[in-house]
Structure 1
Amino acid sequence: DIFTVSTLDRIYKITEEVDRVYGVNHNQIDSIGHRTTRYLRAQAGGFLKAEPVMIQMPKTADDAANIKRIVHNTESIYGLLVSLDDRAALVRANFIESRLDHRRTFAEINERVIAPFEKGWIGALIKGRDAMKGETAAPAVVDTVYRDTAAAKAGLKVGDTIVSVNGKPVADRVELAAEVQKYKPGTTVKLGVKSGEETRDAPLTIPEPDLELYVAGEPRLYGWVYSYANDVFWILTVTYCSEWILRWMYFHDWRGALRPTLTGLIAAFWGLGFVHIIGFALDPLILVMPFLVTARAVSHAIQMHDRYYEEFERHDWNQRKAIVAAFAELFIPTFAGVVTDALGVLVIILVPIVMLRNLAIVISWWILAITVAELLLNPVVYYYLRAPDPEVVLARDKGWYKALINRVTDWNLSSLGKATTMVFWLGLTVVGAFLMRGLIVGDPTSASPLVWSDSPYNVSHAHIQDKFGGVEPLIVVAEGKDRDAMKDPKVLRTMENFQRYLERDRDVGYSFSLTDILRSVNMVFHELEPKWGVIPNNSRDVAQTFFIFFSGSPPTETAKYVDPSYTTSHVTFFARNHKGDNIARIIQECKDFIARPENNMDGKATFKLAGGLIGVLAAANEELVRNDLLMNFLGFFTIYVIVLFSYRSWMAGLYLLMPLFISNILINAAMAVFEIGINVNTLPLVTVGVGFGIDYGLYILSRIIEEIRVNNDLDLSIREALVTSGKAVSFTAVCMIGGTALWTLLRDAAAGDDLVLPPRLHPARGGEGEAAPGGPGAGRGGQLRRPR
């Protein structure tokens, strides 16, 4: 078990290192090695004293056994901070939200915690950086050497200074651990050891790690996400290079490959400039949105460039006439498409979630910037650049792609093709409508959908959940009307009943409130007899019990339980997962309990829902459900109105919305099948997808109308539209699908999987909601240590 001198020493040191991580709230750390984790000790004369479980590192086996006894006899520790099988300990840290830096937190946890105590462990404690003296490097001085370890066998002594590993200098314990973990277990390295004025080489065989460290929590999750920034850069680079190659193959001209990029760059400059002006930070989890908008800008430019080549040939290679004709004919579909895209995203502003509102404003402006580049700048650029060679333009109609489009179009417009197409899509619609019933709001699995299920983060999260039953908090605030409301026995018993009631839910692991402190104190008063673990009958006895436990603790420590006036406290439940269905059920159970007349606490206090990760997700999910129908209606209605005013036809909008409606059903069905839930990031991306879908239809519809004016034959007009505008539409669709498919190569992160069906990412959660009343906003980080 963990109750050995070596393991407990490391738990103590790990707790110290976690306390030194930037942004950690030093008074809101839960660990048996932290000063705020206390137990009650009976003293002579009938007095009780609250003391830290580990006031210092144990020195002997008797010290370790005493800590084990304390843990087993303390209800608020055993099973919560130490697993019931004594093989794991938990270190939980709250972060001050305004100081939360995901990249820095991720790096410091790796350097200070994981490297020195897992893969970089050599069987000796090395003195670390002194937090009181800043972050200056301190020599790697041996503090403790444990028996029968690699350090002992290498002859290391207390006071030795390790200055190098295989000749490479190390300045402190962080660099030492980083260097040691580069070597596989069983490898022998030479440590440069300085004892006094003498320096010697000590051969050390790298040991197998005897502890496994698992780190989870929202700050850690976002640290993993930020660690993939380089992967995202390379994927974007490969994507754009691949699309340039595809455009060159399509146009047979480097101008055709590069000119559409100009539209995307101009729109990106405008979009990023607007982001900077309003002070909105681009979260890596929403980078796919600018990527898709930029790709959409390039798609509009491809349509224009393809039409420019066509008009250039039609006007006997007259560049000026070709430019005027191309931009005049495509002005309506381009402008209508951009406006529908922008307004379709802007309806997201109806959701009262700040991140979504900011995203809606930024992306809408970004999309509108396409009009400046495509309709105002590009005609000028086309005029001043050299006209394409006639041979290049003619080559477009001789390639295999053009032949394929002609063949597919002829079959599709035949009697058999029409019937087959209608039956095929009707069948898909029926199947999709059946499957989409499985679509849920929120996350459909217990693992984080931001990364793969077998990623290091989800593996760590699963281990912690397995050992401790639940680590995802739901905080219900108990708010009193007057001072000392939390000392009223009626209020406290209602809080206790609330705990027992919700703990019956299969997905609630355990809970904690002030009542747990009261019951523990009373048990210690009566020789740890469980029958005395009750709440006192009067406010005076409650106040005395609180005084015994909290005396000597500063307000910064007691703030995580209750505010100084005892007006506000909380009941915290730890859920096993954050599945959307489970969150909805748990929140409904909370509402049912609060609504019962017997739980009104005589009007002295009320329960307020809800904080913590579960509470924040519940609020977001409720808003999505409440606004989903309205946003879908406004999105489709906006498209219909724009099409109506653009083409002055009541039926044009219906023709274009029908395939869009079917595709929406199929996307929802695919999300249900692939277990992709509706959340704060799928919503804007699905909405953008609706707008992108209508763009394709607008170009084909405009070309049909244009051809009817010439030949007055509907069938012939449809065919001409499909083999011209339809060819460009299919090519841009291939580029879009191929570009998003490359995101599946993203190492460990599951964003790419969701980008394909449909392009989207998952909730950009910050800190895990609120801390206990009286404390700042906080994000939680958990850590499991388990011997092999």
Structure 2
Amino acid sequence: MNTTHTKAPAIENLFFNWRPLWLIFFLLVTVFLGSQALQVKPEASFEKLIPLSHPYIENFMERQNDLRGLGNAVRLAVTVKDPSQDIFTAEYMERLQQVYDEVRFLPGVDQSAVRSLWDPAVRWTQVTEEGFEGGTVIPDTYDASQESLDTLRENVLKSGQVGILIANDFRSTIVLAPLVDSVDGQPLDYQAFSHALEDIRAALSDEQFDIRIIGFAKLVGDLIDGATQVAFFFVIALGITFVLLFLYSRCFKSSIIPLVCSVIAVIWQLGLLKLMGYGLDPYSMLVPFLVFAIAVSHGVQVINAMAIEASHGHDRLTAARLAFRGLYVAGILALVSDAIGFMTLLFIDIQVIQELAIAAALGVAVIILTNLVLLPLLMSYLGVGKTSVIRAERKRQETSELWHRVSFFSHKSVAPWSLLAALLLGVMGFVGSTNLQIGDLDEGAPELRPDSRYNLDNAYITRNYATSADVLVVMVETPEQACVSYEALEAVDRLEWQMRNVEGVQGSMSPAYITKRVIAGFNEGNLKWETLSRNQFVLNQAMSNLPAGMINNQCDLLPVILYLEDHKADTLVRVTRAVEAFAAENNSEHARFMLAAGSAGIEAATNEEIARAQTFMLIFVYAVVAALVFITFRSWRAVICIVAPLGLTSVLCQALMAQLGIGVKVATLPVIALGVGIGVDYGIYIYSRLRQYLREGENLQDAYYHTLRSTGKAVSFTGLTLAIGVGTWVFSPIKFQADMGILLTFMFLWNMIGALWLLPAFARYLLKDPSKA
């Protein structure tokens, strides 16, 4: 009787005694989940990207219907290409009307809130000897004649829209289109909406006119289009990994089967996501690629272990059993650590990050079955090639000069210097990481390349319009029907004056500001009357002239619109703190100041949520990983040996982010948890094998040398393979994908280096050396 089989643990017999049934099971599940995976589509949602439980967002969502146009909206700038021409031509006005009409009837656009020169709600007003006069900017009598164009020019100058809907140089105008969250009960398809905007651009742009488009929906659409190119990187990674595996194993079967099992893991993940009702947004588009990379790393460990066992003369089935037996504890521990590490992202109250966490954890969980179970089952029939076995046997018998030198990291004369060097690197990294900032650090859309069409359009609109696209709205709540009271308006006026003097505020607009202008207009335009009157009848009359959006039906909300110079993290912190300080001193029964609406207000809330969760998430993921390591190895020494190198990598990664100008935001925050979760695999595999050799009575350096020749070789290979794979993301047209590629490449390499370099140095002082017993 084969004692290898009789001494096998129950979990091994469960799989290997019923191999045909399990393979049929895997085949059926793969076919079913594959059919589901084909139905997964890219998706995105405005609400998924914002922290819905943050006080700013709760205030905004409660008042969303009263603030149409100040949340999710797109802006189309219809521009004149000829520098010698302006907008006051019949051809331009006809083209603007075409754009206005096309945009209004796009699915997802709030038709009643669309603003353009052609919109009847856009009016002009002037003060005359007889009082106010006004009308629509484009009059009903407009007939494209030179006379009507001259009238249009006069109306534009009197409208107060120059710098808002009309460019400062009169060579473009804006079509502002607020969006709704759903169409016919279904969430707005941002990719389809973005494509519809591109269709308008293509149809109505020519040698005379151009259309520039910005807004959340357009940005997300561009992100989805760019992120779908991850399939290209996936194919490149497949090719690179296959080549590296073949060079490593010199066996076609040993190269292709781990890839097949890793692809099956991705298929299972996507199929399960579909069954759970999830899709893939631009931020989680790379998760299947990451799952593939993790699966390959564990597959290499299996193939490496089988080759070693086969070199000892074991048949295919026995080699597969022994490989499974030697790896399943460490493998399951590593993958469970990965999954729980990813699940810590659920503590961040931003749905897109939470869905990324679920997708990553689900993918890692299925690897336990596809690469720790299915792979050895398949290899028990196929076996590793003779060339691979002969090569493994030769390598086992030869002395490796490289690994012999690396084993000196565990030597008593080298270990203290290694720990000292790690301490110095840690201090340097900590000092460098103090410059790490929360949020965006660049103008425009940092998720895209600076030379992307979107960022070029954003730069044009920012440069040619007085009012920035970065809008922060302070909501001033009053008792119902009391928004016209002097006390409320006077408080708003003081807030506006104070905020105009805050660095980063470009300009402002509020009902109080407009009311003062109207009161001056009632008094022949005399500037000394441009103030708030205590006479309620005067205020009532002035407030009746407010434009749409500045007053709601209940008359219990006064929006103060702040136009910011940019949406950088420092600017948002400075402005929101100034508003909060003012609110703390001036909140009363007449007016209560609440943050925040507008694109900048939403981003400020997102930054605060990330800042709140960042440290907690990092502590939690390390605590969970440490607890799992302790439970598995029953040793606090094992925890230090495995987890301490990961801590150095995290500190150095944050310093790298600060150096490269990468802020901590929705796109980059998950990298920290991903890096820790994946990096722990290296340490677990090395420590597990090192402990085994120490128990067999070898001294520390010899034990580490033999660990390097087996597991260490696979760890170094997988670390380099993972780094090369994610390194291809650097060429992505989506900047945040490129940033993730840089950071993950760095973490994969440093986690590998830490496991090979620092783990034995800690082991020198923490583990018992049998030779000294």
- Check the 8 A contact 1:473/1:612 in 2, yes or no: yes
Residue number in structure 2 paired with 1:438? 435
Q: 1:527 to 1:387 in 2, by over 3 A?
A: same
Matches of 1:410 and 1:243, distance apart in 2: 27
Other-structure match for 1:388: 384
Task: Check conservation: 2:686, 2:712, Cα contact below 8 A.
Answer: yes
- The structure that is helix-richer by fraction is 2
Alignment of 1:165-244 (within 5 A): 209-244=207-242
Q: Note closer, same or farther for the CA distance 1:445–1:342 as it changes in structure 2 (3 Å cut).
A: same
Matched, 1:588 2:552: no
The reply to whether residue 612 of structure 1 matches residue 598 of structure 2 is yes
Cα distance change of structure 1 residues 735 and 390 upon mapping to structure 2, 3 Å threshold: same
Q: Which SS does the other structure have where 2:696 is aligned?
A: helix
Q: 1:394 to 1:58 in 2, by over 3 A?
A: farther
Report the secondary structure of 1:284's partner residue.
coil
Is 1:756 matched with 2:753? Answer: no
Indicate yes or no: 2:189 matched with 1:101: yes
Does residue 33 of structure 1 match 2:121? no
Q: SS of the counterpart of 1:569?
A: strand
- The residue that corresponds to 1:145 in the other structure is none
Which residue does 1:318 correspond to in 2? Answer: 315
Superposition pairs of residues 243-262 of structure 1, within 5 angstroms: 243-262=241-260
Per-residue CA deviation, residues 60-108 of structure 1 (Å, 9 max, x unaligned), is 3343333333333333x12222233434433322111224332222222
8 Å CA contact 1:345–1:687 kept in 2: the answer is yes
Alpha-carbon distance in structure 2 between the residues aligned to 1:592 and 1:670: 34
Q: Residue by residue, what CA displacement relative to the aligned partner does 1:163-201 show, whole Å, maximum 9, x if unpaired? A: xxxxxxxxxxxxxxxxxxxxxxxxxxxxxxxxxxxxxxx
* SS state at 1:603 partner: coil
Matching residue's letter, 2:239: C
Task: Give the corresponding residue for 1:573.
Answer: 562
- Counterpart amino acid of residue 515 in structure 2: L
What secondary structure does 2:503 align onto?
coil
Q: What do residues 279-327 of structure 1 show as CA deviations (whole Å, max 9, x unaligned)?
A: 222102221223212311221111111111111212x132222122111
State whether residues 472 and 614 of structure 1, in contact with CA within 8 Å, keep that contact through their aligned partners in structure 2. Answer: yes
Q: 1:405 to 1:620 in 2, by over 3 A?
A: farther
Partner amino acid for 2:386? P
Q: Distance in 2 between matches of 1:87 and 1:235?
A: 42
Q: Which residue of 1 aligns with 2:646?
A: 660
User: Per-residue displacement from partner, 1:238-266 (whole Å, max 9, x unpaired)?
Assistant: 12222122112211112211222243234
Alpha-carbon separation, structure 2, partners of 1:485 and 1:759: 58
In structure 1, which of residues 488, 495, 512 is the aligned counterpart of residue 485 of structure 2? 488
- Partners of 1:617 and 1:242 in 2: CA distance: 39
- Paired with 1:477 and 1:274, the residues of 2 have a C-alpha distance of 42
Q: Which residue of 2 aligns with 1:91?
A: 175
* C-alpha distance 81-745 of structure 1, shift in aligned 2 (>3 A): same
Alignment partner, residue 633 of structure 1: 619
Q: Is the 8 A contact 1:3 1:68 kept in 2?
A: no
Matched, 1:716 2:702: yes
Specify the code of the residue in structure 2 equivalent to 1:83.
A
1:11-62 CA-to-partner distances (Å, cap 9, x unmatched) read: 3433333323332212223333322212236799756555344557562334
Give the partner amino acid of 1:645.
I
The 1:461–1:58 alpha-carbon spacing in structure 2 relative to 1, beyond 3 Å, is farther
State how far apart, in whole Å, the 1-side matches of 2:646 and 2:387 are.
Answer: 38
- Measured after TM superposition, the shift of residue 611 of structure 1 is 1.8
1:336 aligns with 2:340: no
Do the aligned residues in 2 keep the contact of 1:50 with 1:548 (CA within 8 Å)? no
Aligned to 1:777: none
Query: Following TM superposition, by how much is the alpha carbon of 1:749 offset from its aligned partner in structure 2, in angstroms?
Result: 4.3
In the TM superposition, residue 372 of structure 1 has moved relative to its aligned partner by 2.2
Q: How far, CA to CA, are the matches of 1:391 and 1:532 in structure 2?
A: 95
Cα pair 1:488 1:538 within 8 Å, conserved: no
| CA drift at 1:663 | 0.4
TM-score (normalizing by structure 2):
0.79
Bigger CA drift: 22-31 or 694-703? 22-31
Counterpart of 1:156 in structure 2 is none
Question: Aligned partners of 1:610 and 1:452: how far apart in 2?
Answer: 28
C-alpha change, 1:428 and 1:374, in structure 2 (3 Å) is same
2:448 is aligned with 1:364 = no
Which stretch shows the higher mean deviation, 412-421 or 343-352? 412-421
* Structure 1 Cα separation of the partners of residues 168 and 501 of structure 2: 19
Q: Which amino acid aligns with 1:583?
A: L
Determine the C-alpha separation between the residues in 2 that align with 1:404 and 1:341: 33
Change (3 A) 1:509 1:40: same
* In 2, Cα distance between equivalents of 1:4 and 1:398: 83
Which residue does the alignment assign to 2:17?
Answer: none
- Report the Cα distance in structure 2 between the residues aligned to 1:26 and 1:218, rounded to whole angstroms: 18
Measure how far apart 1:718 and its partner are: 0.6
**1:731 deviation in Å?**
0.9
- Please name the residue that 1:518 is paired with: 515
| 2:99 equivalent to 1:110 | no
Cα pair 2:474 2:560 within 8 Å, conserved: yes
Pair 464,505 (structure 1): closer, same or farther in 2 beyond 3 Å: farther
> For the residues of structure 2 that align with 1:574 and 1:542, how far apart are their CA atoms?
26
Distance 1:423 1:56 in 2: 83
Please report how far the alpha carbon of residue 468 of structure 1 lies from its aligned counterpart in structure 2 after TM superposition. Answer: 2.3
Q: Distance in 1 between matches of 2:307 and 2:109?
A: 61
Separation (CA, whole Å) in 2 of partners of 1:733 and 1:70: 67
Match of 2:159 in 1: 74
The residue number in structure 2 matching 1:61 is 146
Q: Deviations over 1:542-564 (max 9, x none)?
A: 333343556xxxxxxx4x33321
TM-score by length of 1: 0.78
The within-5 A match list for 1:431-470 is: 431-469=428-466, 470=468
User: Which sections of structure 1, spanning at least 5 residues, go unmatched?
Assistant: 121-208, 551-557, 761-788
Shift of 1:359: 2.9
Structure-1 separation of matches of 2:724 and 2:505: 43
State the AA in 1 paired with 2:388.
V
- Is the counterpart of residue 21 in structure 1 residue 106 in structure 2? yes
Rounded Cα–Cα distance in structure 1 between residues aligned with 2:671 and 2:350: 16
After superposition, the Cα gap between the structure-2 partners of 1:528 and 1:500, relative to the gap in structure 1 and judged at 3 Å, is same
- Equivalent of 1:677, from 663, 668, 691? 663
Q: Deviation of residue 506 (structure 1)?
A: 3.0
| Equivalent AA in structure 2 for residue 323 of structure 1 | A
Q: Which runs of 5+ in 2 are unaligned?
A: 1-84, 747-773
* Structure 2 CA distance for aligned equivalents of residues 684 and 46 of structure 1: 60
Q: CA deviation at 1:594?
A: 0.9
Moved more, 470-479 or 386-395: 386-395
**Cα shift at 1:656:** 1.2
**Aligned-partner Cα distance in 2 for 1:485–1:397:** 88
| Contact 2:342-2:673 at 8 Å conserved across structures | yes
Matching residue of 2:477: 479
8 A contact 1:405–1:727 mirrored in 2: no
Shift of 1:641: 1.1
TM-superposed deviation, 1:748? 5.7
- Does the Cα contact within 8 Å between 1:12 and 1:57 map onto a contact in 2? no
Paired with 1:44 and 1:90, the residues of 2 have a C-alpha distance of 33
Residue 404 of structure 1 and its aligned partner are, at CA, apart by 7.8
Whole-Å separation in 1 of the counterparts to 2:359 and 2:608: 24
- Cα distance in 2, alignment partners of residues 7 and 66 from structure 1: 15
Equivalence for 2:733: 747
Opposite residue 703 of structure 1, the aligned amino acid is R
Deviation at 1:116, TM superposition (A): 4.2
